[in-house]
Amino acid sequence: MADIIRLLPDHVANQIAAGEVVQRPSSVVKELMENAIDAGATDIQLIIKDGGKTLIQVVDNGKGMSGTDARLSFERHATSKIQKAEDLFNLHTKGFRGEALASIAAIAHVEMLTKTEDDDIGTKIKIEGSKIVSQEVVVAPKGTSMLVKNLFFNIPARRNFLKSDQVEYRHITDEFHRISLAHPQVAFSFYNNGSDVFQLPANEFRKRIVHIFGRKTDEKLVPVEEETQVVKISGYILKPEFAKKSRGEQFFFANNRFIKSPYLHHAILGAFEGVIRPGTHPGYFLNLEVNPGTIDINIHPTKTEVKFDDEHTLYAMLKSTVKHSLGQFNVVPALDFEQDQNLDTPYSYKNKQVGIPQVVVDASFNPFETTVKTSKGNNSTGNYKKPKVEGWENLYAGLETKVESNVSHLEFESEVVNSSIFDDEKESIEPTTTTFQLRKKFIITTIKSGMVVINQSRAHQRVLYENFLKNITIKEAVSQQLLFPLTLSFSPGEMNILKEIKDNLCTVGFVFGDLDDEGVEIKGVPVLVAESEVQMIMEQLMSDFQQEVPGDSFSQSDMLAKTLAKTLSVKTGESLDEFSQVKLVNDLFACKETTLSPFNKKVYVTITENDIERKFI
Ligand code: ADP
Ligand code: MG
């Protein structure tokens, strides 16, 4: 048989490598910005168009390249950053694999303009799908400008796989945040479709965070500082009361490189345990400085997953350092959910005046006399009735009832029967069906053939979802005016999302007042929404839309209805009174779709009489 093994031509090998390095426009942004940092730039501009699909440009004032280097930089495994394998254990640069430019040039139209300090004249190279189109000598400022156009022009399958411009823009913004946070001493600017998104002057870390996430962030930050032989930890955590429903602001940097580490994230969760509400996520911006020899960055082409030599020690240190900061800044006691409730004075006693105890003596009292006497010289209690000796138990009667009446004021959250969700219609509904709530999770009701077990939360989601979707479509939502408008603050990134979805929010009943880059005034809310829930709902919306920005307006409405349904629905663990149970069952079966929740989860199961009979065999 003839030999069949061949070496792949370079441009094919580069395209394959590109698959690993360049997943989407944000990967290009990352590689180009990291190259600019490695080139020692102090000012970096990022310019994008159409979510980076048509254009990504990074301009830096770094050290630039000579003509030969400029040409060579597009070759695979061409790097100035390491020379031998040992260098891998002492990395001080972001890049070192020498494959980013080769990969990008294999799948896009690239123009590079570069000049070094020493050269008088610069170089311009055009390269398309790994082919050099032109190389010229041109006048250029010191530094490098990389222009990447028409990403994946030669791989239609990859291009079609890209998400909407907004989603890609969101990914790029995330990348921009990560790199600019990792390098606060470098000035950055960011332009999207011709408008200016960020202008970040060189600054200290705290100011960089505030510039990116908004002025209000400053007061939320608690410093974290610890230095040991293994690691230097520095940065900030967000005060526990600002823990969010979404996982937004969580950043680890190892030696100025953004990293993802579920393991270390877990350490932070441990430190915050008990001080943040369940279901919310702590925010953090933490730098870990370790000896470059003790960290392996080479395990993944995008280099965000790294391996530390001594992860367990790092875990323990991180946890205790963060805990210490929480304690030191006195943010824990105010929110200590674990605190023994019995040690707290009941609220009803808090404002009571402390009086001097008075002892009232009935001078005429004779314990051996059984007749009741009316006391005379006693002006404070009026009639004092001496209890009969045989009725001694009555002595405690008053005390008992007093204790009881106090207790009856206490409501244990888990026992609260939730009837409010359908309160308005309570009168008009007659329970015609018998329902039963099981474990505060399922509603059981009978049908002809047997019984239905309904997941209460999913059923309510379905009901709310269809309701909201209808409101959005026919634009007939009713809103309730808030007596005092609420002012909520958000980061500029979140405000961008809000601006995009604002019109749709109005159709479900939100009424907005003033709106700027850092916050919004809310004047009215949908009838189903309680004022206290507004912040939570808005955060949930931002986080859902941040992860997935729907392209057309229908999917935007759909997503809005889903988020509202998810946030406002009855949850597992809530008791429902009989009316609510019946109403939920009736509403569910009046829905267009009854079997699945808006998130495609099964809403109910039926168990037939036969099924039950069979169990008895
Ligand atoms: P790596 O960064 O892993 O070395 P790249 O393919 O990203 O590989 O870049 C190849 C080389 O091109 C770099 O090692 C560097 O010498 C040079 N280079 C790339 N971008 C720049 C830039 N913005 N300024 C100066 N030199 C650059
Ligand atoms: Mg690089």
Check residue 347 and give its pLDDT.
41
Check residue 549 and give its pLDDT.
62
**Nearest bound ligand to the CA of residue 106:** 1
Check residue 328 and give its pLDDT.
79
Q: How far apart are CA 37 and CA 178, in angstroms?
A: 13
CB atoms within 10 A of CB 365: 11
Contact status, residue 521 vs residue 513, Cβ threshold 8 Å: yes
Instruction: Classify the C-alpha dihedral 137-140-142-144 as positive or negative.
Output: negative
Q: How far apart are CA 98 and CA 305, in angstroms?
A: 18
Least reliable range by pLDDT among 41-50, 61-70, 465-474: 465-474
Check residue 386 and give its pLDDT.
37
**Whether pLDDT at 594 is above 50:** yes
> 146 CA to middle of ligand 1, Å?
11
The burial class, CB within 10 Å (0-12 / 13-18 / 19+), for 487 is exposed
CA-based radius of gyration for the chain: 33
Contacts of 40 (CB under 8 A, 6+ apart): 62, 63
Tell me, using a 6 A CB cutoff, whether residue 39 lines ligand 1: yes
Q: How far apart are CA 571 and CA 181, in angstroms?
A: 38
**Nearest bound ligand to the CA of residue 74:** 1
Nearest alpha-carbon partner for 112 in 77, 149, 79? 149
Q: What average pLDDT is seen over the chain?
A: 82
Least reliable range by pLDDT among 160-169, 201-210, 306-315, 377-386: 377-386
Contacts of 496 (CB under 8 A, 6+ apart): none
Which of 38, 63, 145 has the most ligand 1 atoms within 8 A of CB, as the residue to mutate?
Answer: 38
> 33 CA to middle of ligand 2, Å?
8
**Whether pLDDT at 384 is above 60:** no
At residue 214, what is the residue type?
A: G
Tell me, using a 6 A CB cutoff, whether residue 45 lines ligand 1: no
Which of 42, 76, 101 has the most ligand 1 atoms within 8 A of CB, as the residue to mutate?
Answer: 101
**Whether pLDDT at 395 is above 60:** no
**Whether pLDDT at 603 is above 90:** yes
Check residue 178 and give its pLDDT.
96
Tell me, using a 6 A CB cutoff, whether residue 292 lines ligand 1: no
**Nearest bound ligand to the CA of residue 101:** 1
Ligand 1: atom nearest CA of 60 is 23
Q: How far apart are CA 150 and CA 168, in angstroms?
A: 14
Nearest alpha-carbon partner for 125 in 107, 116, 113? 113
Tell me, using a 6 A CB cutoff, whether residue 147 lines ligand 1: no
**Whether pLDDT at 195 is above 60:** yes
> 62 CA to middle of ligand 2, Å?
14
Identify which has the larger pLDDT, 405 or 52: 52
Tell me, using a 6 A CB cutoff, whether residue 456 lines ligand 1: no
Output b/e per residue, 424-457; b: 16+ Cβ within 10 A: eeeeeeeeeeebebeebebbbbeeeeebbebbbb
> 32 CA to middle of ligand 2, Å?
7
Least reliable range by pLDDT among 298-307, 334-343, 376-385: 376-385
Q: How far is CA 616 from CA 438, 518, 609, 613, in A?
A: 22, 64, 11, 5
Ligand 1: atom nearest CA of 100 is 6
**Percent helix, percent strand, percent coil in the chain, to nearest 5:** 40, 25, 35
At residue 566, what is the residue type?
A: K
3-state secondary structure 474-514: HCCCCEEEEEEEEEEECCHHHHHHHHHHHHHHHHHCCEEEE
Check residue 552 and give its pLDDT.
66
Q: How far is CA 359 from CA 77, 98, 343, 380, in A?
A: 94, 90, 28, 10
Q: How far apart are CA 94 and CA 44, in angstroms?
A: 15
Q: Map residue 110 onto helix, strand or coil.
A: strand
Ligand 1: atom nearest CA of 99 is 6
Nearest alpha-carbon partner for 20 in 119, 86, 102, 87? 102
Strand ranges of the sheet holding 519-526, from the earlier edge strand across to the other edge = 479-489, 519-526, 511-515
Q: What is the pLDDT of residues 206-260, one digit of tens each?
A: 999 999 998 889 999 999 999 998 899 999 999 988 888 777 799 999 999 999 9
> 140 CA to middle of ligand 1, Å?
18
Q: How far is CA 239 from CA 219, 264, 275, 286, 292, in A?
A: 9, 19, 10, 14, 31
Range among 149-163, 370-384, 493-507 with highest mean pLDDT value: 149-163
**Whether pLDDT at 389 is above 60:** no
**Parallel/antiparallel/unpaired status of strands 109-115 and 122-128:** antiparallel
- In which region does residue 145 sit, left (phi positive, over 0), alpha (psi from -120 to 50) or beta (all else)? beta
Q: How far apart are CA 52 and CA 547, in angstroms?
A: 17
Q: What is the pLDDT of residues 371-383, one digit of tens each?
A: 444 444 343 333 3
> 73 CA to middle of ligand 2, Å?
9
Nearest alpha-carbon partner for 439 in 460, 459, 454, 419? 454
Tell me, using a 6 A CB cutoff, whether residue 36 lines ligand 1: yes
Which of 37, 71, 73 has the most ligand 1 atoms within 8 A of CB, as the residue to mutate?
Answer: 73
Instruction: Give the mean pLDDT of 325-346.
Output: 54
At residue 483, what is the residue type?
A: L
Instruction: Give the mean pLDDT of 299-320.
Output: 85
Q: Where does the pLDDT of residue 553 fall: very low under 50, low under 70, confident under 90, or very high at 90 and above? A: low
Contact status, residue 448 vs residue 598, Cβ threshold 8 Å: no
Q: How far apart are CA 352 and CA 329, in angstroms?
A: 31
Q: What is the DSSP letter of 413?
A: G
If you take atom 19 of ligand 1, which residue's CA is the nearest one? 35
CB atoms within 10 A of CB 328: 13
Percent of the chain with pLDDT over 90: 40
Tell me, using a 6 A CB cutoff, whether residue 145 lines ligand 1: no
**Whether pLDDT at 202 is above 90:** yes
Check residue 551 and give its pLDDT.
60
Nearest alpha-carbon partner for 250 in 210, 283, 213, 217? 283
Least reliable range by pLDDT among 205-214, 509-518, 549-558: 549-558
**Whether pLDDT at 407 is above 80:** no
Contacts of 245 (CB under 8 A, 6+ apart): 279, 280, 281, 536, 539, 540, 543
Q: How far is CA 421 from the centre of its chain?
A: 27
Q: How far apart are CA 209 and CA 203, in angstroms?
A: 10
**Whether pLDDT at 86 is above 60:** yes
Contact status, residue 71 vs residue 126, Cβ threshold 8 Å: no
Nearest alpha-carbon partner for 367 in 403, 340, 392, 347? 392
Q: Where does the pLDDT of residue 113 fall: very low under 50, low under 70, confident under 90, or very high at 90 and above? A: very high
Only one residue has tokens 């694999």, namely 97
Instruction: Give the mean pLDDT of 334-344.
Output: 42
If you take atom 16 of ligand 1, which residue's CA is the nearest one? 80
Contact status, residue 35 vs residue 86, Cβ threshold 8 Å: no
Range among 178-192, 275-289, 585-599 with highest mean pLDDT value: 178-192
